Amino acid sequence: MLTTDQWQKNIIDSWRPGSLILTSGGRLARQLQHRYRLQQLKEGHTSWCPLEVRSLNSWLHQSWQELWESRAPAGSWMRLRLWYEIISNNPPPADLPLDFALCQLLDQTYAVLVRHRLDPTEIRFPSPLIAWRQHICREFISALNDLKRYHPSELPLKIAGAVNAGRLSLPDSLILAAFEAPAPIENDLFRTLSQKARVNVFPLPQDKATNVHAVNLPDQEQEILYLGQALLDSCQQFRPGAIAVVVPNLEVYAPLLRKTLNTLLGQSLTPQEETYNITLGNPLLEHPLVQAALLPLRLLGEDEKRQVFISLILSPYYRTWAKNRNQLARLDRHWRELSPEADLDSLYDRAHSREPDLAPYLSPEGIEVRQLLAPFQQSRSLSGARWTELVQKLWDSVQFPLLADESDRIASNHLQAVLANLVADLGSWSMDWRTFQACLRQALSAEIFQVGASEQAGVQIMGLIESRGLAFQRLFLLGMTSTALPQPVRPLPFLDIEERRQILGATLKSQYEFGHTAFQHLLAAAPEIILTKPEKVDGEPVSPTPFWPSPWESKTVNIWIKPDAAWARAAWLRSAWRGLTQPHSQEIEEKSSAVSIQLPKSLSVSSLAVAFHCPFRFLIEELLGLKPLSEPMGGLRPENRGQSLHQVLACITRRLRPQYQEGGLDWQQFFPAAQKCVDKVHTRVAALPSWQVERRRLLGDKLGLLRMWFQEEINHHQDGWRWLVEEVPFKGLHVEGWPTALSGRIDRIDFHPEAGLLCWDYKSGSSPNSADVFKYLSEPQLPAYLLALLQGLVEIPAYPPLQKYHFQAGYITLKSEKDIKLDRLQADAERWQHFLETWKERLVELGQLLQQGYFDADPIPTAPERKREQLCNYCGLLTICNRGELTETTK
């Protein structure tokens, strides 16, 4: 029975100089050419007449050139532009954004109809949509005529016409190879050719291959694992180039395949060392160089400006910035502090004011990102050529692209080619910036990028169509499920039901027949064939292709339990295996290992609070100054909000104290004072909407947080308390046995003739409760303030030394109108006294540990596990302290 290999041989044998072989695809043409050359070399020839073989498309194109017609085929962009203009004048029967994808779809529909010899302007099935399509197709045709152009899909018609009219000289004889299921338009062409020249047709062989093995694996992942093994085994028997993998759903499998083959075979180092060649490109738009190219343009429109900007200045493709990437990256810290919607101006202002030494990096060679974007910001209409020129200029000015390898070079040339086509087709078309950007994106996603390895050496991986007519020694057919072969019917939304019935691939029948013949040909393509399929795809069971009903052998692959010699090539597996078979415990040293580090002479109470929470965190954040990047967030940052609230309260108490001491608090004076203070504190941010909302939160339309607070203060006042002083700084607080001096600032001190002094700490969020202060001893602020009082570190003119009074302390919570509390925690001064002693002991204990260099990753040991876990879950240092694994609450 005829095999594809024999079939190819017959074609070459039947070729004579002067005759031409036409193939359905370029790949077959190249394989025939290669085979012929090998034959010449084998027979020892030093010179020979080259084999005349072409794919139908290239022959059509070349023939058109020989005709010297005055009508040129319309380039893709000219067509899209025409569709675009026509649709904008004849909007579709639905409120849809006019975009190039729609134009592309219409152009494809037009081509499909032409290829099937159906008239796009003929009315068969009147529905609003079809009527619309027919109307715009009419307009499209007349627009093409006006421009003396035609749609490239009509080329076979034109060539057939020329052949008929004897205007095209044909070779003595033609060989047609592998033209199964040709479209009607090709059929007509072949008919004409056979009338005018000797045509010899070589239909692809079909075979009931004898050596076929069908394997069923649980899922795609295992299918690929299996393929990896089988390929490596095959490479022990055949040269890689004689092995092929054909995949009907190549785009689904390609990423998995690439990953596997890179792991097992490595990447091809063309041209000398071929490992594998996968004939599936990706849209040029997805290439990192092109992504980088678009970054400056994206900065003009998109929401996620921070990400885009950082990607731009850290991109390796812009020589201007590349050398200073590490310095420029510091800009990110600033942007994270701003709101995510902040613009470049606020970023640069902030950077200039906070980090002047960054200035030279911000405008290298005098170029700053903002200037680059200026030309694009005005909303004006320019010709396609002009926009292209501006974009090019922008790139040149920042020395884009900085190429590193072959892939970059190819991508860069493609990019240039795309721009050139745009200019050629749209050069004179005037459009706004957005439209141009849309064109550019569309063009880049339509262009396919591929770093081609050799088709003649290395394992060959391809889709169904490219495989047509190729011959191999061993063939793997991957993903042979009932949903991949036959393939599902194409949707073709712009065709009516009648048209769809006549289109190949638009009916169950045609898809089934196409799949069936394709499969039969594949069976002839190699003497040994292995079919594989997954049992389930995304958990959904799938049955095998109906074209191979014979039994499938079920297999599972588990490289952990039954490691295999092919996968033993995978570096990660080898490494992991060593770990598994020679287990070792390399835990970070146990938590109590000492480090030598000097504590600073003085420490703020807020730093001390961190030490009380977790000594390790204290070491990292407070002593070594290592903090996580702050997360970008919208609205106000809690810390800014809290700070401003503190200032507002201080301002109010300062203003109202005189009246307060005498009479008492009255609302008349409160409102103006509160307003003045808020405005004073908010001066710099008054224009920012989030702060305007904050102002309303504080002053309120009806209530407002400050009013509620003031109400509490009135009650407090009625209990006999008086505001004494606010924002009282202290320093040099010493506790025997604690190594450093402490400093801090007391938010407010109140006075009561009997009860004495009361230190307040303002909290704009939740306040610690008495358990935190008295039981877990995790909150050092209040005790530290009281000690500062006792040690006479706080002095208030006109008051006797404060330490002679009783004292107590508490929190003023100002979370929201409903969460306002003046919480004295513990009214009994003696208890406070007693507590201070216990607290000092804890402080000294901690001090000794820290001095000896023990910074345990052990948050508030006295607190319940849940609380401790919470602390860890909100701390970014876990990968440094390596405390036990996080719990689910992490989420």
Residues of this chain, 638-667, that bind other proteins according to CB under 8 A: 641
Say how many residues touch ligand SF4, by CB under 6 A. Answer: 12
571 binds, among other proteins, ligand SF4, none (CB under 5 to 8 A by kind): other proteins
CB of 206 to other proteins, least distance (A): 18
- Using CA atoms, how far apart are residues 559 and 225, in angstroms rounded to an integer? 8
Q: Is 315 in the site for other proteins (CB under 8 A)?
A: yes
Q: Is 623 in the site for ligand SF4 (CB under 6 A)?
A: no
DSSP state of 278: E
Ordered DSSP codes for 140-189: HHHHHHHTTEE-GGGHHHHHHHHHHTT-SPPPSEEEEES--S--HHHHHH
Binder to other proteins among 14, 16, 45, 416 (CB under 8 A)? 45
Ordered DSSP codes for 578-598: HHHHS----PPPPS------P
| Residue 770 CA from chain centroid, whole number | 47
CB of 877 to ligand SF4, least distance (A): 4
| Residue 269 one-letter amino acid | L
Residue 242 near residue 473, CB atoms below 8 Å? yes
859 binds, among other proteins, ligand SF4, none (CB under 5 to 8 A by kind): ligand SF4
The token duo for 891 is: 């989420």
233 binds, among ligand SF4, other proteins, none (CB under 5 to 8 A by kind): other proteins
- Using CA atoms, how far apart are residues 456 and 477, in angstroms rounded to an integer? 19
Q: Is 240 in the site for other proteins (CB under 8 A)?
A: yes
Q: Is 621 in the site for ligand SF4 (CB under 6 A)?
A: no
Q: Is 235 in the site for other proteins (CB under 8 A)?
A: yes
Q: Is 672 in the site for other proteins (CB under 8 A)?
A: no
720 binds, among other proteins, ligand SF4, none (CB under 5 to 8 A by kind): none
Q: Identify which of 640, 568, 453, 555 has the alpha carbon closest to the alpha carbon of residue 219.
A: 555
Residue 187 near residue 111, CB atoms below 8 Å? no
Binder to other proteins among 18, 266, 452, 792 (CB under 8 A)? 266
> x/- binding map, residues 561-600, to ligand SF4, per CB under 6 A?
----------------------------------------
Binder to other proteins among 380, 574, 834, 866 (CB under 8 A)? 574
Which helix (H) or strand (E) segment holds residue 8: the answer is helix 4-14
Helices within 750-825 (DSSP H only): 770, 781-790
| Residue 658 CA from chain centroid, whole number | 60
> x/- binding map, residues 528-547, to other proteins, per CB under 8 A?
--------x-xxxxxx--x-
Kindly tell me which of 594 and 827 has the beta carbon lying closer to ligand SF4: 594
Stretch of residues binding ligand SF4 (CB under 6 A), selected from 46-54, 382-390, 614-622, 645-653: 614-622
Measured CA to CA in angstroms, residue 360 lies from 333, 364, 660, 765, 834 at distances of 17, 6, 54, 41, 59
872 binds, among ligand SF4, other proteins, none (CB under 5 to 8 A by kind): ligand SF4
Burial class (CB in 10 A: 0-12, 13-18, 19+), 785: buried
Q: What 3-state class would DSSP assign to 725?
A: strand
| Residue 388 one-letter amino acid | T
Q: Is 35 in the site for other proteins (CB under 8 A)?
A: no
Kindly tell me which of 70 and 683 has the beta carbon lying closer to other proteins: 70
Residues 6+ apart with CB under 8 A from 803: 789, 790, 791, 792
> x/- binding map, residues 626-665, to ligand SF4, per CB under 6 A?
----------------------------------------
Q: Is 820 in the site for ligand SF4 (CB under 6 A)?
A: no
Kindly tell me which of 344 and 844 has the beta carbon lying closer to other proteins: 344
Stretch of residues binding ligand SF4 (CB under 6 A), selected from 176-184, 786-794, 834-842, 876-884: 876-884
Count of CB atoms situated within 10 Å of the CB of 844 = 15
765 binds, among ligand SF4, other proteins, none (CB under 5 to 8 A by kind): none
| Residue 815 one-letter amino acid | K
875 binds, among ligand SF4, other proteins, none (CB under 5 to 8 A by kind): ligand SF4
Q: Tell me the β-bridge partners of 100.
A: none
The interface with ligand SF4 within residues 830-859 (CB under 6 A) comprises: 857, 859
φ/ψ of residue 820, rounded to 5? -120, 125
CB of 308 to other proteins, least distance (A): 8
Measured CA to CA in angstroms, residue 463 lies from 84, 95, 254, 281, 586 at distances of 33, 38, 10, 11, 48
Kindly tell me which of 12 and 105 has the beta carbon lying closer to other proteins: 105
Q: Is 68 in the site for other proteins (CB under 8 A)?
A: yes
- Using CA atoms, how far apart are residues 763 and 786, in angstroms rounded to an integer? 18
The interface with ligand SF4 within residues 855-874 (CB under 6 A) comprises: 857, 859, 871-872
Q: Is 505 in the site for other proteins (CB under 8 A)?
A: no
Q: Is 617 in the site for ligand SF4 (CB under 6 A)?
A: yes
Q: Is 479 in the site for other proteins (CB under 8 A)?
A: no
CB of 624 to ligand SF4, least distance (A): 12
The token duo for 140 is: 């499209």
Residues 6+ apart with CB under 8 A from 642: 763, 764, 765
Q: What 3-state class would DSSP assign to 382?
A: strand
Residue 867 near residue 860, CB atoms below 8 Å? yes
Binder to ligand SF4 among 480, 614, 623, 802 (CB under 6 A)? 614
497 binds, among ligand SF4, other proteins, none (CB under 5 to 8 A by kind): other proteins
The interface with other proteins within residues 433-472 (CB under 8 A) comprises: 454, 456-458
Work out whether the CA dihedral 379, 380, 381, 386 comes out positive or negative: negative
Kindly tell me which of 201 and 588 has the beta carbon lying closer to ligand SF4: 588
Q: Is 881 in the site for ligand SF4 (CB under 6 A)?
A: yes
Q: Is 305 in the site for ligand SF4 (CB under 6 A)?
A: no
CB of 609 to ligand SF4, least distance (A): 13
| Residue 102 one-letter amino acid | L
Binder to other proteins among 169, 416, 643, 852 (CB under 8 A)? 169
Asked whether the bond before 271 is cis by omega within 30 degrees of 0, the reply is: yes
φ/ψ of residue 283, rounded to 5? -55, 135
Q: Identify which of 290, 318, 312, 289 has the alpha carbon closest to the alpha carbon of residue 300.
A: 312
- Using CA atoms, how far apart are residues 530 and 221, in angstroms rounded to an integer? 17
Which spans of this chain sit near ligand SF4 (rule: CB under 6 A)?
A: 614, 616-617, 857, 859, 871-872, 875, 877-878, 881, 883
